[in-house]
């Protein structure tokens, strides 16, 4: 049986649970998260999304013709998202011109490292990153203000549909992958899960949370 996104989730439930379920998210849902912790995460997530946009561009460059439209739609949404981040930061008087924390830097370095990998590996990583955001903001349930807008952005049905499209595209690429490429895809899936868990935790580990 070929490797699929579903089989990866079934094979590694503990790792995926850590990637999508975290006190940061439950703190948002319960209204108990300190605003400075959320601000720390928000600024670092903006820095991440800038590099993630570059990653999607590289995936687009490696994609077969049939996958181009879906990836272009994702890039268009990312352009809007970066502008939205800037607006949210302005509302909160946050400085976006700062250096990434080590956790964010590690994640961005990982995305750069995917560039020479086969398309099936890149497509798996792209799906896993987007699905982690989608599930992370959906699983806790409805979010109170001021976090409702954030949960709606990444947990909305339209974004869920896009994630399903990415899974289908990754599955197509994996269907003809060699055992070696399947092993690489599984490894990047686990790396994404580890990096996602660390990224949520970063809000709590910051020495000086953004105020």
Assigned domain for 47 exists: yes
Assigned domain for 210 exists: no
Assigned domain for 161 exists: yes
Assigned domain for 58 exists: yes
Assigned domain for 211 exists: no
Question: Minimal CA–CA distance to 75: which of 90, 56, 88?
Answer: 56
- CA dist., res. 9 & res. 117, Å (int): 21
Chain Cα centroid distance, residue 22: 14
Q: What CATH number does the domain containing 18 carry?
A: 1.20.910.10
pLDDT tens, the chain, 211 aa long: 889 999 999 999 999 999 999 999 999 999 999 999 999 999 999 999 999 999 999 999 999 999 999 999 999 999 999 999 999 999 999 999 999 999 999 999 999 999 999 999 999 999 999 999 999 999 988 899 999 999 999 999 999 999 999 999 999 999 999 999 999 999 999 999 999 999 999 998 754 444 4
Q: Quote helix, strand, coil % in the chain, to nearest 5.
A: 75, 0, 25
- Show the domain range for 135: 5-205
- CA dist., res. 33 & res. 24, Å (int): 7
Question: Minimal CA–CA distance to 195: which of 75, 111, 134?
Answer: 111
- CA dist., res. 96 & res. 11, Å (int): 38
Q: What is the pTM of this model?
A: 0.95
The DSSP symbol for 98 reads S
Residues 6+ apart with CB under 8 A from 168: none
Assigned domain for 101 exists: yes
Assigned domain for 183 exists: yes
Residues 6+ apart with CB under 8 A from 79: 53
> Angle at the Cα of 160 (from 112 to 181), degrees rounded to 5?
40
**Total structural domains within the chain:** 1
- CA dist., res. 196 & res. 16, Å (int): 9
Assigned domain for 132 exists: yes
């Amino acid at each position: 049986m070929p490797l699929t996104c579903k089989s990866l989730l079934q094979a590694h439930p503990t790792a995926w649970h850590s990637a999508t379920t975290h006190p940061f998210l439950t703190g948002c849902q319960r209204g108990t998260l300190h605003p400075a912790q959320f601000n720390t995460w928000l600024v670092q997530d903006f820095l991440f999304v800038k590099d993630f946009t570059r990653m999607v561009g590289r995936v687009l460059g490696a994609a077969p013709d049939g996958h181009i439209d879906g990836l272009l739609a994702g890039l268009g949404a990312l352009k809007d998202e970066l502008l939205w981040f800037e607006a949210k930061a302005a509302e909160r008087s946050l400085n976006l011109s700062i250096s990434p924390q080590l956790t964010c830097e590690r994640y961005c370095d990982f995305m750069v490292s995917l560039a020479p990998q086969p398309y099936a590996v890149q497509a798996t990583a792209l799906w896993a990153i987007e699905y982690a955001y989608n599930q992370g903001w959906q699983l806790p349930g409805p979010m109170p203000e001021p976090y409702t807008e954030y949960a709606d952005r990444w947990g909305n049905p339209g974004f869920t549909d896009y994630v399903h499209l990415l899974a289908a595209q990754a599955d197509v690429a994996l269907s003809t992958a060699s055992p070696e490429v399947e092993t690489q895809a599984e490894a990047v899936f686990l790396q994404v899960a580890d990096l996602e868990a660390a990224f949520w935790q970063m809000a709590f580990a910051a020495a000086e949370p953004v105020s």
